[in-house]
Structure 1
Amino acid sequence: MSENSDSKDLVSSDGKDASDSGTRNRVTFDDVLVELGEFGTYQKIFYFLFSVPFVVSSMQLLGWVFVGANLPHRCRFPDEPTDLETPGNFDFVSDTYVSVDGCSYINLISNETLTCDLGYIYDTSIIGDSVVKDWDLICDRKSWRATIGAAPMVGYLIGGLLTGYQSDKFGRKPTFISSIFLLFVSGLATAFVPGFFSFTLARSVVGYAIAGIDNTCFTMGLELVGPSKRTLAGIACWFFETSGLLCAVALAFLLSNNWRLLQICYSLPCIIFISYWWFAPESIRWLIGQGKREEAKHLIQKSAHMNKVNLSDGLIEDMENTLEEEMEEEESRTYTFVDLFRYPQMRIKSVIILICWLVCPALYYVLLLDQSEISTNPHIGFFITCAVQIPGYIFVIFTLERKTFGRKRSQCAYLLLTGLMLIVHPLVPEECYWLRISFSIFGRFCANCAYTVLNLYSAELYPTVVRGVGIGSSYVISRVGTILSPYLLLLGEMSPIIFGSGAFLAGISALLLPETLGKPLPETLLDGERMQRVILPFCKDSDNPLDTIKSAMQSEKSPFKRNLQRDDSKC
């Protein structure tokens, strides 16, 4: 990469590079937002429109709890009629045979243990139909069900990286439209496929599409609003996700006897959002970052009209001048995953963010999908687990907006409390039922809060030029954790210790991150470097590390990259 190309990364969003800081008056989009209204009519309308898709994405992803419900089962006995399929007949009592573990039975006369060669009888009293029942994904085929459960996470992993790049390269809006269309097609496909392998493939595509929707909708919502409203914008969208989960429970209750019809109902609403192509705007921040000044100017004027605001004379022109000067200094380039680790401070923050993303979603999904201790009825257990999230979001908004907590301390506290609950819960005696339930629900509450804070916090830490790639990469690493989680649960009593230790590691690491409460969103990589310094105990750090960057940008003899590598910050 050329010196010119590297230098452009370190031009700040306020237009002040290392050589002219403080000598020119620059106007950025954040300045424009202050006059537009940080959460005016324009922002409210389109924030709502880009939050609603979380309803369908959460239904598709976690509706699997009911579509793939693991029903109670036993072997079919030789002496019972072959048409016993009604719910009450699951408790059929044989004089000759007795079920052992659902996968074998004993002949009481010969004392012989037999396998389920005649098939299975399922308890359909609560959930009448599921993928597991149709294809007998139990006993020696139970790993097949785990594979289907992991398939969307694998798709999410791939989609997180590719749609993040697509979002930064081609725009938030085209990425969203292509992802929602793909979710519609793949979601319907899962309802009509004939067998296990095609169903698994369709579910992996569902995961890929959901990654694109979550990435673009969250980023669009955050980029719409001003600094003082980012907490609200970063949290409110997750109310829609919880609404989607509650809708999934309601539909599953009404359509519990036909999983294919249930899956169709999860998929059909996607078609509504394809209409966004004709009226939803592109992200103004993305347009500015791409140098599309006329389109950005048009949307700013449109938002001013909708917000009934008159912008100061020359404000847009000053912003255009700022962009023009920056474009003269910079060449257009595409940012990739490598740029998250190109410079010292961005490198440290990226590693810590990815550690948190490896742990947080794994905790969230493991605790969300396991409701066995809360209730034997999956509908009730899932409803309670989801309902706990709503006060969690309200509490998160309260803590994030308080300087006493902010983003950093909130992230740390919620992770440490989740880890504590995971480790302490198994030590509570079985006799203390309500205490175990309380610990379990509080652990879910803290895990949800930690996950909610992380979505906002990491988006604020990544500069605009790499925000799509950064969030996409975070989604990728999060899927690694969620894919590994079911296998870690197989370790039995060790699994709470492993998950709890991971929560402690992520919580302590979060203390090293800079606070972002009330700070403007970083636009360029230099903005990221200029944030509060992250200094590790084993690293040597200079008083002003940007002096090295300044020297590198002003030097015509030595390559910029080589100068940057000689920065006194050795991490």
Structure 2
Amino acid sequence: VVRTNTSWPNVSWPTTSCIHGWNYNYSLYYPTITSQLDWVCDNDWRPALSQSLFFVGSLVASPVLGWAADKWGRLPVIVLTNMIGCVAGIASAFCTSFASFTAFRFIVGMTYDTHYMATYILLLEYVSSQYRTIMANVPIMLFLTTAMCAMPWMAMGIANWSTFAVVIHAPQAISFLFLWLIPESARWLLGQGRVKDTIKILKKAAKVNRKPLTPEVIQEFEAYGTKQARTDHHKTASVLDLLRRPRLRLRFVVLCIMWMVITVAYDGHMRNTEHIGSNVFTTFCIAGFVELPADFLTMVAVEKVGRRHTTVFTLVVSGLVSFVVAALPPGHTMTIMWMAVMGRFMITMAINVGMQYPVEVLPTVARGSCSGAIHTLGHVSVFASPYIVYLTKYGHYLPYVILGALTVGGGLVCLVLPETLNQNLPDTLEDGEKFFSDQSFFYDPCTRRRSKGTLREEDDSSKEDDSPKEDETVRDAEDGDPRTNEMLCFTKAPKEQNISPCQERCHTPVNDDNSQALTSEDARQT
């Protein structure tokens, strides 16, 4: 430095390892496993590798656990993954070597995604299309935001990485009580032909919601459950079964690309937090607080403009913001921080829609296994995120250029996805192939909503022609498809009728001489 009269060392100069050990500055940070085991200098690759192996665990386990959720139910998988994650997470707090730490983090990674996704699927399978967006976003908006804002200050207050690891993993132990507190998915049970279990759960739900479960409704479930019991091949379906259907195959591939882009961008933005502010705790808290308005705006946007438009817009804008951050000089710390927070805001909106989209597009018989496969590919992409952030060593702009290119490209690919606003969940592979097939590439739910009044008048004028005859009603009662996500609302629309997604209709067969098609609102009063 003296000889060349420079202020900073040149990266091309030769280096040597410290021979007398290291002293760490704890004025801001507390001791971590990195400082405890000296993962610095020649060993600075170890933190990134341990994080990557965490996602390798998810890569290995998600397909298997997703299949298990379709085979044995959502609830057993939720409890099992939480308990394993609890034990492995606490064990990782007492590791004293790189091998043991990465091994336990690998096991935690095997469980962390599935216990969340299986719970998410269970929740959405119980609510109607009218409330899916609310139930998908409000819990995240309240509890995830609170946890993310509290975690940095908890870490600072505890000031010990081992104790902190125990504190954040120990609460998972209460998941054992879920076996008595949370019912299994009624939709999944019905698909398995377990009619008695389904009716038992729905009777309890009807009692809590003060909606009587009539004998006619029970007969509908029994008829459908008996039909499902006779067709064993409909109980579960694999990813390969889904890939044999052309429309489902295209949607599945696009959903995989979408989720890979979203997860690597979200994880990259979160990991890069330490590089955009002087205090990582404050910056992480601000970035966590962004979740609250982002979740609320997502809830409004997907109901007003639809899932597809929201996904495309948020991904593209997030990418453009990343390009702006990459172009800013390193000295503009505050500007870079707020622009990065804006990019985090948009990608948070995208990940909320991205979690809901596959659940609504994929059929019940393959929802768990295919969601697991999608999330597995997401973990493949997240495997690269620590190394993308590591590129900051060679230029602060490199991570943002890569994240920007990925999100813009991923957003444009999502244009081929169908719009699922106000649509029922498909149950079988046949449902998944036929649902949304009447939508064109330029389908716009906003345009359909503006013409809602006209469509209703046309529907009312043709009600007499479209009303099912008595013998057709009886046949529907025998072979009908009771939609448990509509809660006591049984859908059987005439094949020739085109139903607007912004005009959700529910055709309900009833056992009297004046059987006719009812609106979904009428059916919910049953």
Normalising TM by the smaller chain, what interval?
0.7 to 0.9
Letter in 1 for 2:423: K
Give matches, 1:356-435, under 5 Å: 356-402=258-304, 405-430=305-330, 433-435=333-335
Letter in 1 for 2:194: K
Task: Tell me if structure 1 keeps the 8 A contact 2:362–2:426.
Answer: yes
Aligned with 1:224: secondary structure? coil
Write the distance in 1 (CA, Å) between the matches of 2:39 and 2:18. Answer: 13
Offset of residue 499 of structure 1: 2.1
- 1:526 and 2:430 aligned: yes
Task: Tell me if structure 2 keeps the 8 A contact 1:151–1:200.
Answer: yes
What is the RMSD computed on CA atoms of the aligned residues? 2.4
Give matches, 1:87-98, under 5 Å: none
Per-residue CA deviation, residues 217-262 of structure 1 (Å, 9 max, x unaligned), is 1111111211100001121232323333233223201111x21111
Task: Tell me if structure 1 keeps the 8 A contact 2:145–2:291.
Answer: yes
2:420 to 498, 516, 525: 516
Offset of residue 279 of structure 1: 2.9
Offset of residue 494 of structure 1: 4.3
Aligned to 1:566: none
Per-residue CA deviation, residues 256-281 of structure 1 (Å, 9 max, x unaligned), is 1x211111111211112211123321
Write the distance in 2 (CA, Å) between the matches of 1:448 and 1:339. Answer: 32
Offset of residue 431 of structure 1: 5.8
Give matches, 1:537-556, under 5 Å: none
Aligned to 1:496: 400
Task: Tell me if structure 2 keeps the 8 A contact 1:187–1:263.
Answer: yes
Task: Tell me if structure 1 keeps the 8 A contact 2:195–2:221.
Answer: no
1:444 to 316, 330, 344: 344
Offset of residue 373 of structure 1: 4.8
Aligned to 1:472: 372
- 1:146 and 2:48 aligned: yes
Change over 3 Å in CA distance of 1:323–1:482 after alignment to 2? same
Letter in 2 for 1:488: I
- 1:189 and 2:95 aligned: no
1:155 to 32, 57, 80: 57
Change over 3 Å in CA distance of 1:488–1:378 after alignment to 2? closer
Structure 1 portions without partners, runs of 5+: 1-98, 107-111, 538-571
2:192 to 254, 276, 290: 290
Change over 3 Å in CA distance of 1:276–1:523 after alignment to 2? same
Per-residue CA deviation, residues 27-69 of structure 1 (Å, 9 max, x unaligned), is xxxxxxxxxxxxxxxxxxxxxxxxxxxxxxxxxxxxxxxxxxx
Letter in 1 for 2:247: Q
- 1:354 and 2:256 aligned: yes
Offset of residue 120 of structure 1: 0.5
Aligned with 1:358: secondary structure? helix
Aligned with 2:23: secondary structure? strand
Aligned with 2:421: secondary structure? coil
- 1:210 and 2:112 aligned: yes
Change over 3 Å in CA distance of 1:316–1:369 after alignment to 2? same
Aligned with 2:193: secondary structure? coil
Write the distance in 1 (CA, Å) between the matches of 2:334 and 2:48. Answer: 30
Aligned with 2:274: secondary structure? coil
Letter in 2 for 1:286: W
Aligned to 1:335: 237
Write the distance in 2 (CA, Å) between the matches of 1:117 and 1:183. Answer: 39
Aligned with 2:383: secondary structure? helix
1:235 to 137, 143, 151: 137
Write the distance in 1 (CA, Å) between the matches of 2:202 and 2:153. Answer: 41
Amino-acid identity (%): 28
Task: Tell me if structure 1 keeps the 8 A contact 2:84–2:111.
Answer: yes
Give matches, 1:18-97, under 5 Å: none
Task: Tell me if structure 2 keeps the 8 A contact 1:160–1:212.
Answer: yes
Change over 3 Å in CA distance of 1:501–1:388 after alignment to 2? same
Offset of residue 333 of structure 1: 5.0
Aligned with 2:31: secondary structure? coil
Aligned with 1:125: secondary structure? coil
Letter in 2 for 1:527: D
Aligned to 1:254: 157
Change over 3 Å in CA distance of 1:247–1:274 after alignment to 2? farther
Aligned to 1:318: 220
Change over 3 Å in CA distance of 1:255–1:355 after alignment to 2? same
Offset of residue 371 of structure 1: 1.6
- 1:198 and 2:116 aligned: no
Letter in 1 for 2:344: R
Write the distance in 1 (CA, Å) between the matches of 2:300 and 2:223. Answer: 39
Q: TM-score, normalised on structure 2? A: 0.77
1:263 to 148, 151, 165: 165
1:116 to 18, 23, 38: 18
Change over 3 Å in CA distance of 1:376–1:434 after alignment to 2? closer
Write the distance in 2 (CA, Å) between the matches of 1:419 and 1:394. Answer: 21
Offset of residue 482 of structure 1: 0.8
Offset of residue 430 of structure 1: 4.6
